[in-house]
Amino acid sequence: MEKLLEILRNLLDGEPVDIEHRVNQHGINIATGRAYLAHDGIIFTRMCWDNDTHGFGTCQCQSHNLWRDYQIDTKELLFLIYKLIKDELEQTKESAKAEKALTRLINELS
Ligand SMILES: [Zn+2]
């Protein structure tokens, strides 16, 4: 629950939150997605999943930007937070509580 509140607090304070991570081929955990609240909605910024810069693949990202912005809705944001908490705090009581709360929220939005 602590983690969920921290993420929501940061977002509401206008702070970008690294919300999606992947382990690259060197075993390093890299933030591949970041979310923030803009005046006209929620922006999710995803890094090219095949970029060479962060040790994933062979893409030099020369024909496109390393990052790309998407507008997402509340449900998608909550789902990203849900996955983040699940990955980070797997099998702790805290994550079970946060997972339940998020599942309820996501279901209410369906
Ligand atoms: Zn690329």
Predicted TM-score (pTM) of this structure: 0.76
Band of pLDDT at residue 91, cut at 50, 70 and 90: low
Query: Of 83, 66, 77, 76, which Cα lies nearest the Cα of 36?
Result: 77
Q: Ligand 1 mean position to 8 CA, how many Å? A: 30
Q: Ligand 1 mean position to 81 CA, how many Å? A: 24
Q: Ligand 1 mean position to 72 CA, how many Å? A: 21
Pairing state of beta strands 67-72 and 41-47? antiparallel
Given a cut of 70, whether residue 93 has pLDDT beyond it is no
User: What is the structure's pLDDT at 98?
Assistant: 76
Contact status, residue 30 vs residue 62, Cβ threshold 8 Å: no
CA 93 to chain centre: 21
Contact status, residue 56 vs residue 25, Cβ threshold 8 Å: yes
Q: Please compute the mean of the pLDDT values over residues 11-16 and round it to a whole number.
A: 95
Band of pLDDT at residue 94, cut at 50, 70 and 90: low
Q: Ligand 1 mean position to 34 CA, how many Å? A: 16
Task: Return the percentage of the chain with pLDDT > 90, whole number.
Answer: 63
Q: Which tens digit of pLDDT belongs to each residue from 56-83?
A: 999 999 999 999 999 999 999 999 998 8
User: What is the structure's pLDDT at 10?
Assistant: 95
Band of pLDDT at residue 99, cut at 50, 70 and 90: confident
Q: Ligand 1 mean position to 43 CA, how many Å? A: 19
User: What is the structure's pLDDT at 45?
Assistant: 97
